[in-house]
Amino acid sequence: MSVPAESHRYYTGQYWNDFEIVRQYLDARITGDPTLTWFEELARDGHHFGRALILNCGTGWVERELHRVGLVDEVIGIDISADLLALARQGAADAGLVATYVEMDTNKVPLPDGPFDLVLNHAAGHHISHIDHVFRQVSDRLSENGLFISWDYVGPHRNQYPAAIWEAAWSVNRELPTHLRQTMRYPHLDTMLSQDPTEAVHSELVLDTIARYFHISRLHRLGGGIGYLLLTHNDSVHNQPLDELEPHLHLIMQADAAFTEQHPHHTLFAYVVAGAAVEPPSDEDLARWKAEEDAREAAAARNGAEYGPRTWLAEVTYGDEAPRPTLGQAVAVRWPRATNRYNRCADWLLARLKRRSESR
């Protein structure tokens, strides 16, 4: 795993959860109360963890919040960035949190020894290439009654969104005043590979891999298919006064909620609470999953860190070898549902004309 660059063409700007309206939306989808965070809910419900492991802890803000509400006694935080760990150490000292921070690459170095009463994956798993290897270790280090909590991006691999998500966000974007609209550029895979190859490297595997090794007691799909796309890296929105923005933020998040309810499999973010698996995986499953991961990573290493064919949208938008899209292709990108209906009608009409011709 390489250390991400500070910024680049796609990953610059501000995020959707900089807005209080969005934070309340996310909290409400987890706890049912827009004023209650997931960690405050855990504390309210009487949870307490003696020893916690924080995956890819960054600056350490999450464990400081856990400490603030009385959830943890001691934490071990791991991350690949020495600079971020320095900030985490200072923050823990200032907060009076008993914390140990370890610089390590989770793909290559074994996790710290357990047992842990809590292991937290907060926006970390989608950066891990050997996700089966790491989550397997988490399950081994979790105490008998411990919890594995995951709050993570679980959307398409390297943000290569399918047409359904792109069209939904595009449609809502057109409802906004011109000066608030997102400049919708399909995420540029070559830029991501050169600047931050860990970003969403296996985000689409996060939920399935958790299900392999743990018993999931709670799963909340948090959405983002519209809100994240329109509000993240959108300077025109972040630079506006909140009183002007508020009705438009409500419009976006209401659309996001409706889209997520209709298409739960298209959620970009998810919150999971899990414990030890009822039945541990068999030796045969463990061997098969390891072999699959080893083969996948070896193939990607030979293929410039790519894991498979690019999406059609990526090829049409950026493909060096792709021909310039025809008018029909451009219309299909912009209005996929209408195009599908048109194609079905055209097929029906052609078939009917053929039958008439054959009957004469």
pLDDT of 326 over the 60 cut: no
Find where tokens 């009705």 sit. 247
Q: Which pLDDT score is estimated for 336? A: 52
Averaged pLDDT score across all residues of the chain: 89
User: Which tens digit of pLDDT belongs to each residue from 231-272?
Assistant: 999 999 999 999 999 999 999 999 999 999 999 999 999 999
> What six digits make up the tokens of 109?
């170095």
**What is the residue extent of each domain of the chain?**
16-302, 323-359
Find where tokens 């959830």 sit. 71
Query: What is the C-alpha to C-alpha distance for residues 5 and 260, in angstroms, rounded to an integer?
Result: 32
* Residues β-bridged to residue 149: 120, 273
- Average the pLDDT over each of 139-143, 306-310, 341-345 and give the range with the smallest value: 341-345
| Beta strand spans in the chain (E) | 49-55, 72-79, 98-103, 116-122, 142-153, 214-223, 269-276
> What six digits make up the tokens of 293?
């991961």
Superfamily of domain 16-302: Vaccinia Virus protein VP39 (3.40.50.150)
Query: What is the C-alpha to C-alpha distance for residues 341 and 344, in angstroms, rounded to an integer?
Result: 5
Q: Which pLDDT score is estimated for 319? A: 73
Average pLDDT over every residue of 87-110: 96
Q: Which pLDDT score is estimated for 2? A: 35
